[in-house]
Structure 1
Amino acid sequence: MRRRRARGVSRFEWPVRVYWEDTDAGGVVYHAQYLAFMERARSEWVRDLLGDQRAVKSAHGIVFVVRAMQLDFRSPARLDDALTVSVMPTEFRGASLLVNQTVERDGVVLVEARVRVASVDADTFRPAPIPVSLIDTLKNPRNA
């Protein structure tokens, strides 16, 4: 895991290795598996900055859910590839945030995504504002 600054925005990176279970019969990563790779990276990003997601739920009564996602598949990943999955927040609203994500191999972007993440009440699953303290931490991570 690494965090670095890119164009004034903190970029979180998470390493992923491609295993047999991630591929189709041809040894190419199955398209839906990229969603799992990106979910892991977003979960680790939240864990790195805010702690365990159960702690966020307990302390603030909210959970984060994917509201919408746009994907651009540029090039395939293959069995045994070492990938880097990035998370870069680009927009913060009252009850949602937008993150850009990439899946890269050796610095080459294979998949690009724009992900709208919504904050919802943990009990009702209705939209709920993201506490300002959480937005501040996500915008300005420590040790960035």
Structure 2
Amino acid sequence: MSFDWPIRVYYEDTDAGGVVYHARYLHFMERARTEWLRHAGFDQRALAHEAGVIFAVRDLQIDFHRPARLDDVLRVHTEVAEQRRVSFSFDQKIFTDAAADAELLCHARVKVACLNAQSFAPQAIPESISSALAAGAPPL
């Protein structure tokens, strides 16, 4: 299952030279994963309050290829690479949003753990999410 989310680079995302600060790419990826989950029909606030689960980044590997700059429109591609009982591993790529000749700016493998919202102990991914993913969820 994959999902694309557009992001525009704002002044607050850049350094003094107008280049996206490296940590901002993590913000962009976090937003894309949140929107991926929302698009599949799950709201993180409801999951925390009703199902008692939250998601947290457990491991991250990132490779930077080219810089993004102020006012660029980017596309964050999010794809589930692996699903386990208590975690997802995502492949996330950020591209320039020039459709035919989009350039890869960075690529990350992000492992996200499902945790109990109260104790922060690892917890199985809710069956509703696992079932939706197995069934393909809504078309992304």
TM-score of the two chains, using structure 1 as the length reference: 0.89
Does the CA-based 8 Å contact 1:15-1:84 persist in structure 2? yes
**Rounded Cα–Cα distance in structure 1 between residues aligned with 2:131 and 2:81:** 13
Amino acid at match of 1:21: E
1:59 positional shift: 2.8
Residue 101 of structure 1 aligns with which residue?
92
Alignment pair present for 1:137 and 2:128: no
1:71-115 deviations in Å (ceiling 9; x for gaps): 000000011101001110011111001000011002211010000
Residue 120 of structure 1 aligns with which residue?
115
User: Once the two structures are aligned, what percentage of the paired residues are identical?
Assistant: 48
Alignment pair present for 1:85 and 2:76: yes
Amino acid at match of 2:56: V
Does the CA-based 8 Å contact 1:50-1:56 persist in structure 2? no
1:143 positional shift: 2.8
In the TM superposition, structure 1's runs of 4+ consecutive aligned residues that sit over 4 Å from their partners are none
Matched residue of 1:133: which SS?
helix
Q: Structure 2 matches for 1:48-63, cutoff 5 A?
A: 48-63=39-54
**Rounded Cα–Cα distance in structure 1 between residues aligned with 2:53 and 2:17:** 41
1:132 positional shift: 2.5
Q: Structure 2 matches for 1:13-92, cutoff 5 A?
A: 13-92=4-83
Corresponding pairs, count: 135
Higher strand fraction (1 or 2):
1
**Rounded Cα–Cα distance in structure 1 between residues aligned with 2:139 and 2:31:** 22
Amino acid at match of 1:50: G
Structure 2: give runs of 5+ residues left out of the alignment. Answer: none
1:42-73 deviations in Å (ceiling 9; x for gaps): 11111111332111122321111110110000
